[in-house]
Amino acid sequence: MTLDFIVLALLTIITAATPLVFAAMGELITEKSGVLNLGVEGMMLTGAVTGFASVFFFESAIVACIAAMLAGTLTALLFAFLVLTLQASQVATGLALTIFGVGLSALLGQNMVGIAYEGLPTLSIPYLTELPIVGKLLFGQDFLVYLSLALPFLVAWFLYRTRAGLILRAVGDSHDAAHAIGYPVIRIRYCATLFGGAMAGLAGAYLSLVYSPMWVENMTAGRGWIALALVVFATWRPWRLFLGAYLFGGITILQLHAQAVGINIASQFMSMLPYIITIVVLVLISRDRNKIKLNAPACIGKPFHPAA
Amino acid sequence: MIRLERRSESSRAMTYLSPILALVLTLLAGIALFSAMGVSPSAALYTFFVEPVTTVYGLTELGVKATPLILIGVALSIGFRCNVWNIGAEGQLTLGAIFGSAVALYFYEVEGFWLLPLMLVAGIIGGMAWAAIPALLRTRFNSSEILTSLMLTYVATLLLSYLVHGPFRDPDGYNFPESRIFHDSAILPIIFDGSRLHLGFALALLVVVAGWILISRSLIGFQLRVMGNAPAAGNYAGFSQKAMIWLSLMLGGGAAGLAGVIEVSGPIGQLLPQISPGYGFTAIIVAFVGRLHPVGVLFAGLLMALSYLGGENAQINLNLPLAVTGVFQGMLLFLLLACDVLIHYRIRFGKRSAIS
Amino acid sequence: MRKTTLLKTLTASMSAAALLIGAVNAQAATKVGFVYVGPVGDHGWSYQHDQGRLELVKEMGSDVETTFVESVPEGADAERVIRKLAGSGHDVIFTTSFGYMNPTLKVAKQFPNVKFEHATGYKRADNISTFSGRFYEGRAVIGTIAGHMSKTGVAGYIASFPIPEVIRGINAFTLAMRKVNPEAQVKVVWVNSWFDPGKEGDATKALIDQGADIITQHTDSPAPLQVAEARGVHAFGQATDMSAFAPNAHLTAIVNNWGPYYIKQTKAAIDGSWKSTDSWVGLKGGMVKMAPYGSAVSADAKTAADAVVAGIIDGSLHPFQGPINNQKGEQVTKQGETVAIGELLGMNWYVEGVQGELPK
């Protein structure tokens, strides 16, 4: 019973954490290149509505996910053009992108309210999926969950084991030096920002196709902001980010369980827990000043213009 | 191919022309957007930008709506100048409203000229106290204020929810989630008869002036500039980064707290579960659109407020859904932010010419 | 004498101007304004009010001209929007959220000739009526079905905020469920939001994991039903028929049916019979309706639910009929009595059978 219960709770936590992993991992790459995009919420919503519309239009979940990523990429392109080509303020443009995305998604989704979708198919391997305890947990998820599990490996490998990752980090840490060596700083930042947009779009698609398969306005309900906070929480490390998403998702779910058991604490205080614990854990891991400095991209948020 | 060429010095003309250019471009973009939506562009643009301020009442409402944006925007811009990223002004605003309301409700039976000033001070203290947490965590434990201030916003909202559903609830209000309606002496005086324009707007203007003096005429302003542009140089000069972090967050928190108590003791008149539709976040945009300068913030705050009033009008007069307002506001902001590029750069089209 | 003529010319010229301005529109149309707290695309509370507005348009055709403003925050903005509607020639204005109560009151004072209709509040004036649905009657119906359909005897309740309306619903549901199954328990999870599909879904999962095999909600999105469908348990729709989201799990829904009231009040405003009233309308008046039963509902459950609906309509049954015990097991309402209306309005205690303690 207890073991079953833990498995069930874990299944819920996976669903809660997966969109955060996508959106935050994309933002991590963006920020590693030295660009701060606060418009994650807007990009996620655009992805969510596009994914939901596409699944009916193309009748394919994979195509719908790709469409959502494209939509996220397009919104990120708009952002990138403004902040990278036209040197607009990154913080303000990101926030404006959120306002824009909320409006745009609501406009696009006007005729999709009240339509139901049965959700992405989950993996079903004969015997394996029916295994007790681990069966559903390991072999019964949808393909996006597996992708999100692979993501920290891929991102960590890319950042720390490939030349491209090294260049990306160099651009984020010192754009002047990177430029002097001859790297195309702006082009690299474009790529990183567009990747962030694609991942935010995918996170949105996860919400509208899996988490709660439907379209309603503002359905992200602030998850884009949590993703942004998680990147800081993780001190720009992929694995810490992954753990952070599961920590945040986990506490959110556990406080719901605690309420269902009938715990005698005002529900508002229970709902505060994920935020407070995230702060406490951040304080614990960031006390060591030197460790953080090694990871935070030094040029984050700063505009770059190659000196002529 | 678009290419930027840095001007040898920033263009004075463009400092003033770029917002005008942005507005012209917004009008063009608006014509395209509204035509696509099947509404007359001229009617839509008139509804957005002109109609809200064609009456005295409309003008006073503009002031009401802009007050919190200007107050918070001015204070935040000071912090942003030295790279302190307080994005939790919304939470600090909430605490200001809570503290101010606590005073108003505690002295519910008492009347006195001192009540209102006490509330305002309580609000400022509330906002500062909430901002002190990120300040302390940043200076003492090196924790990023981006995360802590944002997370504390959610905590503040839930705390407010707890209070209005519990201890602060109106005892005669059938347990509905709102406080008693404040006493007259806990309500900000109206500065224009027949409207809702309250003393808070005057306070916001004072803060603009104070902010201007602070950044341009004081040693602190100089330190802020140095720490923002060249932290290393600042350190050599003996300026303390910790002090700058504390100062930035206290100013931001105090102003946000003041904005919060002004909202509850001004246009709202009681404590509700929701007192701000995201002023703390919008003020960040306002700060940047205002180029982190108090006077710029004043104009940006008014423009932003106008676009909200215009959005309401567009729904009432033209039956345009709110979503269109969001898209339009987004475009307006993009263009305003983008046009500022002209201050520091010339735009060149075509391939890079031979280096002179 | 001169004064009157002057006034007359003035009004004449002003109405001529008004005619010119409104020339495109039908001149005689009565303007009706709506203020919504959420987006019309929320598929919940505001969506349902907008459905009511559309019904009004359908019924009255060109006799009315409607306007709505969506996502109006319940703070300082509400007063301006309501005033704007009143000032732009709207004859009837429906303000559809509790938080608009005091703003409505303030604006109504300045516009004595405009009729205001405030939903779910309790303050009235000569030109303000209040209205709300007796949704707890619907809760009694679904509670009865839950008592019949639940095998574990545990129901999960996803709640938004601890306001009387929500607590009343929880109690009505619990009382009805325990009338069928005296051992039944109701677990409540507060998500502290009216609308967060993800979190509502997560809360549903938590409740199912803890043994609930029937789910009901007082939040806006259909996410709990989708989860119920996926997990093979039963659930009820909220505000609107949500069977499209959960064809098997959806047993019925409590439908907020505002249209008839909007039509009635608008007609009253047009023919001059409008009076300030308080309407708390339930199944009998049709403001609360039950969606068609899902195929999973057993014959017993159907019969019992139909009997509850009929009893409530003919007045022989009241969802809050004694004896009622509170959580401590103390009798608070005697046999043969019903909970007083004031007590219902401000309900802030749980009946026996609800788990967990209500935050004070």
pLDDT grade for C351, boundaries at 50, 70 and 90: very high
Can you give the pLDDT at residue C54? 96
> Which residues, listed in sequence order, are joined to residue C32 by a DSSP beta bridge?
C66, C92
**Lowest-pLDDT range, A295-299, C65-69, C172-176?**
A295-299
| C2–chain A nearest CA distance, Å | 55
Residue A300 covered by a domain: no
* Residue contact C201–A114, C-beta within 8 A: no
B129 versus B6: which is more confidently predicted? B129
Residue A244 covered by a domain: yes
pLDDT grade for C139, boundaries at 50, 70 and 90: very high
**Cis amide leading into C323 (omega within 30):** yes
What DSSP letter does each residue of chain A carry, written as one string? -HHHHHHHHHHHHHHHHHHHHHHHHHHHHHHHTT-----HHHHHHHHHHHHHHHHHHT--HHHHHHHHHHHHHHHHHHHHIIIIIS---HHHHHHHHHHHHHHHHHHHTGGGTT-----PPPP--TTTTTSTTHHHHHHSS-HHHHHHHHHHHHHHHHHHHSHHHHHHHHHHH-HHHHHHHT--HHHHHHHHHHHHHHHHHHHHHHIIIIIS-S--TTTTTTHHHHHHHHHHHTTT-HHHHHHHHHHHHHHHHHHHHHHHHT-SS-HHHHHHHHHHHHHHHHHHHH-SHHHHHHHS-TTTT-------
| C245–chain A nearest CA distance, Å | 5
What are the chain C neighbours of A217 within 8 Å (beta carbons)? 39, 41-42
| A272–chain B nearest CA distance, Å | 5
* Residue contact B277–C163, C-beta within 8 A: no
Residue B93 covered by a domain: yes
**Closest residue in C to A265 (Cα–Cα):** C359
* Residue contact B64–C76, C-beta within 8 A: yes
Per the structure, the complete domain to which residue B242 belongs is given by 70-316
Q: Residue C24 pLDDT more than 70?
A: no
Take residue B160 and report the two structure tokens written for it: 């407010």
**Is beta strand C128-133 parallel, antiparallel or unpaired with respect to C92-95?**
unpaired
Q: Residue C4 pLDDT more than 70?
A: no
Same domain, yes or no: C205 and C95: no
Per the structure, the complete domain to which residue C153 belongs is given by 135-255+287-345
pLDDT grade for B277, boundaries at 50, 70 and 90: very high
Using CB atoms, pick whichever of A225, A269, A272 lies closest to residue B150.
A225
Same domain, yes or no: C63 and C188: no
* Residue contact C47–A12, C-beta within 8 A: no
What are the chain B neighbours of A245 within 8 Å (beta carbons)? none
Per the structure, the complete domain to which residue A142 belongs is given by 2-295
Residue that finishes a domain, picked among C86, C101, C133: C133
What are the chain A neighbours of C42 within 8 Å (beta carbons)? 113, 216-217
* Residue contact C348–B270, C-beta within 8 A: no
- For residue B55, the SS3 value is coil
What are the chain B neighbours of C33 within 8 Å (beta carbons)? 316
CATH of the domain at C64: 3.40.50.2300
Can you give the pLDDT at residue A291? 66
Q: Residue B27 pLDDT more than 60?
A: yes
pLDDT grade for C18, boundaries at 50, 70 and 90: very low
Residue A307 covered by a domain: no
Residue B206 covered by a domain: yes
* Residue contact C357–A264, C-beta within 8 A: yes
Mean pLDDT over B193-215 rounds to: 94
Residues 138-157 (A) with a CB less than 8 A from some CB of C: none
Size of interface A-B (CB pairs under 8 A): 151
What are the chain A neighbours of B85 within 8 Å (beta carbons)? 91
> Measured between alpha carbons, how far is residue C211 from residues A120, C185, C187, C233, C234 in Å?
26, 10, 10, 10, 13
What are the chain A neighbours of B148 within 8 Å (beta carbons)? 279, 282
Size of interface B-C (CB pairs under 8 A): 97
* DSSP label of C71: S
* DSSP label of C332: E
| B2–chain C nearest CA distance, Å | 40
Helix boundaries (H) for B218-278: 219-229, 231-236, 241-263
Using CB atoms, pick whichever of B147, B282, B323 lies closest to residue A282.
B147
Q: Residue A186 pLDDT more than 90?
A: yes
Using CB atoms, pick whichever of A89, A100, A286 lies closest to residue B142.
A286
* Residue contact B175–C348, C-beta within 8 A: yes
Does B319 touch chain C if contact means CB atoms closer than 8 Å? Answer: yes
Q: Residue C105 pLDDT more than 80?
A: yes
Question: Which residue in B268, B308, B318, B327 has the most chain C C-beta atoms within 10 A of its own C-beta, making it the best mutation to test that interface?
Answer: B268
Between CA A145 and CA A153 the distance in angstroms is: 14
Based on C-alpha coordinates, what's the Rg of chain B? 22
C232 versus B240: which is more confidently predicted? C232
Does B267 touch chain C if contact means CB atoms closer than 8 Å? Answer: yes
CATH of the domain at A76: 1.10.3470
Between CA B164 and CA A2 the distance in angstroms is: 38
- On average, the pLDDT of chain A sits at 90
* Residue contact C359–B313, C-beta within 8 A: no
* Residue contact A110–B321, C-beta within 8 A: yes
Residue C85 covered by a domain: yes
For chain C, the distance separating the N- and C-terminal CA atoms, rounded to the nearest angstrom, is 65
What are the chain B neighbours of C24 within 8 Å (beta carbons)? none
ipTM value for the complex? 0.91
Q: State what percent of residues in chain B have pLDDT above 70.
A: 98
Same domain, yes or no: C300 and C186: yes
Q: What is the pTM of this model?
A: 0.92
Q: Residue C3 pLDDT more than 50?
A: no
What are the chain B neighbours of A282 within 8 Å (beta carbons)? 143-144, 147-148
Q: Residue A234 pLDDT more than 80?
A: yes
Residue B309 covered by a domain: yes
| B277–chain C nearest CA distance, Å | 6
Same domain, yes or no: C118 and C236: no
Can you give the pLDDT at residue C359? 66
B189, burial (CB in 10 Å: exposed 0-12, middle 13-18, buried 19+): exposed
* Residue contact A99–B321, C-beta within 8 A: no
* Residue contact C359–A266, C-beta within 8 A: yes
Residue A265 covered by a domain: yes
User: Subunits with at least 3 CB pairs below 8 A relative to chain A?
Assistant: B, C
pLDDT grade for A5, boundaries at 50, 70 and 90: confident
For chain B, the distance separating the N- and C-terminal CA atoms, rounded to the nearest angstrom, is 20
- For residue C297, the SS3 value is coil
Residue A308 covered by a domain: no
Residue A214 covered by a domain: yes
Can you give the pLDDT at residue A140? 74
Same domain, yes or no: C214 and C163: yes
* Residue contact A213–C47, C-beta within 8 A: no
Q: Residue C14 pLDDT more than 50?
A: no
Using CB atoms, pick whichever of B277, B309, B313 lies closest to residue C75.
B277
Question: Which residue in A7, A217, A223, A263 has the most chain C C-beta atoms within 10 A of its own C-beta, making it the best mutation to test that interface?
Answer: A217
Q: Residue C95 pLDDT more than 50?
A: yes
Same domain, yes or no: C103 and C232: no
* DSSP label of C357: -
Same domain, yes or no: C188 and C206: yes
| B103–chain A nearest CA distance, Å | 23
pLDDT grade for B69, boundaries at 50, 70 and 90: very high
A141 versus C280: which is more confidently predicted? C280
Same domain, yes or no: C72 and C142: no
Q: Residue C123 pLDDT more than 60?
A: yes
Question: Which residue in B2, B155, B339 has the most chain A C-beta atoms within 10 A of its own C-beta, making it the best mutation to test that interface?
Answer: B155
Q: Residue B352 pLDDT more than 60?
A: no
Q: State what percent of residues in chain B have pLDDT above 90.
A: 69
* Domains of chain C: total: 2
Can you give the pLDDT at residue B248? 93
CATH of the domain at B164: 1.10.3470
* Residue contact B323–A103, C-beta within 8 A: yes
* DSSP label of B46: I
* Residue contact A207–C198, C-beta within 8 A: yes
Q: Residue C263 pLDDT more than 80?
A: yes
Residues 6+ positions from A262 with CB-CB distance below 8 Å:
C187, C355, C356, C357
Can you give the pLDDT at residue A119? 76
Q: What does the H/E/C string look like for A225-289?
A: HHHHHHHHHCCCCHHHHHHHHHHHHHHHHHHHHHHHHCCCCCHHHHHHHHHHHHHHHHHHHHCCH
Residue A137 covered by a domain: yes
Q: Residue C346 pLDDT more than 80?
A: yes
* Residue contact A262–C190, C-beta within 8 A: no
pLDDT tens-digit series, residues B84-118: 889 999 999 999 999 999 999 999 988 889 999 99
**Closest residue in A to B153 (Cα–Cα):** A275
Q: Work out the angle between the directed axes of helices A90-108 and B322-339 (0-180°, nearest 10).
A: 150
Question: Which residue in B161, B165, B168, B176 has the most chain C C-beta atoms within 10 A of its own C-beta, making it the best mutation to test that interface?
Answer: B176
* Domains of chain B: total: 1
Residues 6+ positions from B199 with CB-CB distance below 8 Å:
B188, B189, B190, B191, B266
Q: Residue C38 pLDDT more than 60?
A: yes
Does A177 touch chain C if contact means CB atoms closer than 8 Å? Answer: no
What are the chain A neighbours of C190 within 8 Å (beta carbons)? 259, 267-268, 270-271
* Residue contact C203–A256, C-beta within 8 A: yes
**Closest residue in B to A230 (Cα–Cα):** B147
pLDDT tens-digit series, residues B141-188: 989 898 999 999 999 999 999 999 989 999 988 889 999 999 889 999
Take residue B263 and report the two structure tokens written for it: 């909202």
Same domain, yes or no: C238 and C321: yes
Using CB atoms, pick whichever of A99, A266, A292 lies closest to residue B333.
A99
